[in-house]
Structure 1
Amino acid sequence: MFPRILRHPKWMVLLPLLLAGSMLVAILTLGVPLSLEFSSGTLIRYEGIEERPDVARIESSLRQLVGGEIKVEVTRDPLTGRFGLDILTPLLGENLENQVCTLLSGLGLENPSILPYSPALGRAQRKQAVTAILVAALVIGLCLLFVYRKKVVLFTVPCVLLNLLAALGGMALTGTPLSLASLAGLLLLLGYGVDTNILLANFALKRFEGEPEERIASAMKTGFMITLTTFATMLAVNLFVTNPSLDQLSTVLLFGLGADLLDTWFLNAGVYLHFTKKRRMYYVSL
């Protein structure tokens, strides 16, 4: 199968670019939602509750009314034994705030304290995170250039960034918020994309036995096996685990791993194939 794929280098390059374009459109039109960790919100606090509140019912009711991410945390005073309740919602206007209080009053919750909520990571920290990812990609490219001594390895950097673009596009399509969990997924993708591209570079540039197509096809077989097993694991986590953080992490990895199959084993493999063929023709002419 893989040698047949390598016979169509134009399609190998076109498919990843089409995917990247569609994901960019999704990001620009839908936007990537921000979790409460990255955006301002409203904190609704109750104290002195005699019976333990029904967290699942409160979350479900508020999600139907407000939409977006809702966090409900129950606390307990060790001295009095009474419960407290902290509810985090997206930023509420005055009208929606009154509706929320009426809804919670119907659930037996009275006399709330309503406070503005500041994000754990503000705009400055988000910019620093983006800068850190870009700097990391640049450093990775320089390290690869130092090891392989071939400029073609620098193409690893845009391939890795295209993986991140696909993950962000998937978040926009599925409504997965940018949170600490999904940010961790993006960082994992950064490292994973580098690993698969190093595998490709080793087969294409460091080995000389056989034809370039044979070496790259062998690398594709290994790379597809690694990526598909990881993809299957993340799919199982996404389908059967209900923890929101793991759901966000697995969603990011699913879209990123799917894109990595195209970005590494089609786009970058096509570039390496062209380079190795050109290098072979040069040495034959000598």
Structure 2
Amino acid sequence: MKLKIVKLLPIPLILLAISLFGIYQVYSKTGDFFIKDIDLKGGTSLTLIFNKSISTEEIEPIIKKKIDTFIISSSKTMEGSTTINILTEKNINASEIVELLNSNGFYPNEYSIQFVGPELGSTFFSQVATLLTVAYILLFITNLYIYKKPIIAITIILSSIANIIVVFGVMNLLNQKISFAGFSSLLMLIAFAIDANVILATKILSGSLEEFYDQYKKGLITGLTINTGLIISMLIVLLFSNSPFLINIAQIQVIGFTADILNTWILNAAIIEVVLLGKRH
């Protein structure tokens, strides 16, 4: 009997190649692997405090008359006051924004403006890189101890890295920015990829080599069920949410969960198939 899963290997490899091209396009222009949103890149932050309850939906159309691209968020206190924060790449005149709001019936009691540098984003990325390096080393050691097969430990890490490459590449090709919240959701995606590959490894190694494909199918059904449910839930968020933060998270999760199906159940499964069954066929 010939190897089966490896025949599908070109599918995830083509996706990875396209994603790497998307990453290269952005990196060659900006020096970054993905298009950073304002909260990661830095800009000007305007804070407005109102003594009544105001929604961002009321303020946003007015601000758009002066600023094309910005991130707006709000918080409310028990006393009923509202704090609106506007973050933009451009230098803005706070007085002009306040006058514009006044002319439309909104009167902030206080306001302040400050420059937000990229230092926060740089610190965040350096800490994430350090933590992921340590986490991957510990993950490799743990899985090597549990499964006693280096290829299993390697593929579990490979899948999560491949998912990140696809997310960055596809988001770049779609010209979509990644915000602080969106980047943080990548950490959830990494954790999910590890879970999916643990299911794959556990199912395959729970039987004999003769049962490889039967065990693979059982794991595949479980994995597809979980992934499909997650993708549908994130698509609902994309369709019905007005929050840019939730939309950014949902975009990344939909791309990531879709990529994980290919990277776990074809790419990694094919590698394991070749290593475990290759000599026998």
Name the TM-score class by shorter chain: 0.7 to 0.9
Structure 2 vs 1, CA of residues 59 and 28 (structure 1 numbering), >3 Å: closer, same or farther?
A: farther
- The SS at the match of 1:43 is strand
Q: CA deviation at 1:192?
A: 0.8
Q: CA deviation at 1:205?
A: 2.2
C-alpha RMSD of the superposition: 3.4
Aligned to 2:30: none
Aligned to 1:26: 22
- Tell me, in whole angstroms, the C-alpha distance in 2 between the residues paired with 1:84 and 1:223: 44
Q: Larger Cα Rg: Structure 1 or Structure 2?
A: 1
Aligned to 2:171: 171
- Tell me, in whole angstroms, the C-alpha distance in 2 between the residues paired with 1:50 and 1:151: 61
- Tell me, in whole angstroms, the C-alpha distance in 2 between the residues paired with 1:214 and 1:251: 34
Aligned to 1:135: 134
Q: CA deviation at 1:85?
A: 5.9
**Contact 1:75/1:84 (CA < 8 Å) preserved in 2?**
yes
**Contact 1:241/1:247 (CA < 8 Å) preserved in 2?**
yes
- The SS at the match of 1:121 is helix
- Tell me, in whole angstroms, the C-alpha distance in 2 between the residues paired with 1:51 and 1:221: 52
Structure 1 gaps, min length 5: 282-286
Letter in 2 for 1:274: V
**Contact 1:212/1:276 (CA < 8 Å) preserved in 2?**
no
**Contact 1:59/1:72 (CA < 8 Å) preserved in 2?**
no
**Contact 2:56/2:72 (CA < 8 Å) preserved in 1?**
no
Q: CA deviation at 1:262?
A: 0.5
Q: How many residues align?
A: 268
**What is the aligned counterpart of 1:105 among 92, 99, 110?**
99
After TM superposition, the structure 1 = structure 2 runs for residues 57-68 of structure 1, keeping only pairs within 5 Å, are 57-63=58-64, 65-68=66-69
- Tell me, in whole angstroms, the C-alpha distance in 1 between the residues paired with 2:151 and 2:163: 18
**Contact 2:182/2:248 (CA < 8 Å) preserved in 1?**
yes
Aligned to 2:198: 198
Structure 2 vs 1, CA of residues 143 and 275 (structure 1 numbering), >3 Å: closer, same or farther?
A: same
Aligned to 1:117: 116
**What is the aligned counterpart of 1:7 among 4, 7, 14?**
4
Aligned to 2:235: 235
Q: CA deviation at 1:144?
A: 0.9
TM-score (norm 1): 0.78
- Tell me, in whole angstroms, the C-alpha distance in 2 between the residues paired with 1:195 and 1:55: 38
- Tell me, in whole angstroms, the C-alpha distance in 2 between the residues paired with 1:58 and 1:134: 42
Moved more, 215-224 or 186-195: 215-224
- Tell me, in whole angstroms, the C-alpha distance in 2 between the residues paired with 1:245 and 1:52: 21
Q: CA deviation at 1:45?
A: 4.5
Aligned to 1:284: none
Identity %: 23
